[in-house]
Amino acid sequence: MHDIQTVEKKLFAQYQVKGILSEDEIINICIEEDLDLTEIDRLCGRLISKGVIIGSKEFNKVSSSNNIIDKSQIDYGILQEKIATEYPSMKTLIEYTSQILPPQTKEWRSLIVPAQQGNIYARERIVLMYLRTVLKQAYNFAKLYSCDLEEVFQWGVIGLITAIDKYDVSSPETFVSYFPLRVRQTMQREASFNNVLFYFPAHFKEKVFPVMECIQAYDCGENDIVTAMNYVQDELRCNIVSNEEELKKILLCLSPPIELKEETAEIDVWEEYIRVQCCSTVINKLFAQLKERELDIIMTRYGFIDGEEKTLEEVGAKFRVTRERIRQIELKAIKKMQVYIQNNHINLEDLLL
């Protein structure tokens, strides 16, 4: 007959590999080691005091033998059916999550510390038992912000895993109230929007999300963004964006892309905008080739400052030099810019069309 310490060491070694021990496994090893069965209760107490998790092998699955406790106030069955109908590609995931045993009363308390210490079972169990909560958050998030549900759900799971690592066990806040905030934060930082060609950095998304909420609140379609913003423009400018230009930038980024084959006046506006931006870029590069005095004379001569072109005499009077001297400086500056254009193969005709 082996003593209880030997059996305890053997069971603890097995637990470190698996992350959980079942009652059947404990009893079987006790029988194999010829330990008095009356010592099982004391043995289990010693194991639990070491943080060992004792449960069923199929603890993550719902079965008729489970004494299921589900205090959720949400009918997840209806939600899962709704998601499966709207997103057929997620049907397999829905079926899988429906078979997971719901979190039991204060179960997370016995799992969170082992999970943070690397216990595989505890970590997996926390993720699985809160998977349906993440799915619900992802569904609502995807609907509100026009995101892809599958992508948002993936980021939500990553947020849940992050919450396990970041949760402070000494905090008075429960893990159940903590992890949804971390899940939503991860979704907001990482998720991308449908029908939007831009990638938004996190600091910009902080301004985009409230704007999208306003659009949803006024029940406006993608093409009625400006109409919706007429109701809330003053509030948004004060609380979210610093000026009207920034607000216009957000609205522009949220506009759906225009197909090349689509005939619309907006295409002409975009083409003109792109042309002007290209011209400005080229002009700035050309001006960078000039000395400060040459640049001042060119900008004054051709109306870059006040929109009015000046004669050589007028420019000469401003800079207190002769008309001929202004002409010489102008020719020298133009020659510098011509050399830059030739060396960089810039086609001015394309920009000026």
Measure the CA angle with vertex 101, ends 98 and 102; round to 5°: 90
Evaluate if residue 161 carries a pLDDT over 80: yes
Evaluate if residue 22 carries a pLDDT over 60: yes
Is 176 in contact with 164 (CB distance < 8 Å)?
A: no
Supply the pLDDT for residue 107: 84
Please tell me if the domain spanning 76-190 has the same topology as the one spanning 267-351.
no
- Name the nearest CA neighbour of 170 among 103, 116, 118, 126: 116
Supply the pLDDT for residue 152: 93
Mean pLDDT of 241-255: 67
d(CA 290, CA 296): 9
- Name the nearest CA neighbour of 195 among 238, 149, 147: 147
CA atoms within 13 A on the CB side of 209: 18
Mean pLDDT of 280-287: 85
7 backbone φψ class: left, alpha, beta (φ>0; ψ -120 to 50) = alpha
Both tokens of 347, joined, read 């086609």
- Give just the sign of the alpha carbon dihedral 288, 292, 295, 299: positive
pLDDT-based confidence at 133, cuts 50/70/90?
very high
Give the 3-state DSSP-derived string for the chain, with helices as H, strands as E and coil as C.
CCCHHHHHHHHHHHHHHHCCECHHHHHHHHHHCCCCHHHHHHHHHHHHHCCCCECCCCCCECCCCCCCCCCCCCCHHHHHHHHHHHCHHHHHHHHHHHCECCCCCCHHHHHHHHHHCCCHHHHHHHHHHCHHHHHHHHHHHHHHHCECHHHHHHHHHHHHHHHHHHCCCCCCCCHHHHHHHHHHHHHHHHCCECCCCCCCCHHHHHHHHHHHHHHHHCCCCHHHHHHHHHHHHHHHHHHCCCCHHHHHHHHHHHCCCCCCCCCCHHHHHHHHHHHHHHHHHHHHHHHCCCCHHHHHHHHHHCCCCCCCCCCHHHHHHHHCCCHHHHHHHHHHHHHHHHHHHHHCCCCHHHHHC
Supply the pLDDT for residue 263: 53
pLDDT tens, position by position, 10-21: 777 777 777 777
- Give just the sign of the alpha carbon dihedral 200, 202, 206, 210: positive
Question: In the CATH scheme, what is the code of domain 267-351?
Answer: 1.10.10.10
In this structure, whether the domain defined by 76-190 belongs to CATH 3.90.1150.10 is answered with no
Evaluate if residue 344 carries a pLDDT over 70: yes
Mean pLDDT of 40-46: 77
| % residues pLDDT > 90 (the chain) | 24
- Where in the chain are the domains? 4-50, 76-190, 202-253, 267-351
What's the predicted TM-score (pTM) here? Answer: 0.59
Q: At what angle do helices 107-116 and 175-190 cross, to 10 degrees?
A: 60
Supply the pLDDT for residue 63: 52
| % residues pLDDT > 70 (the chain) | 74
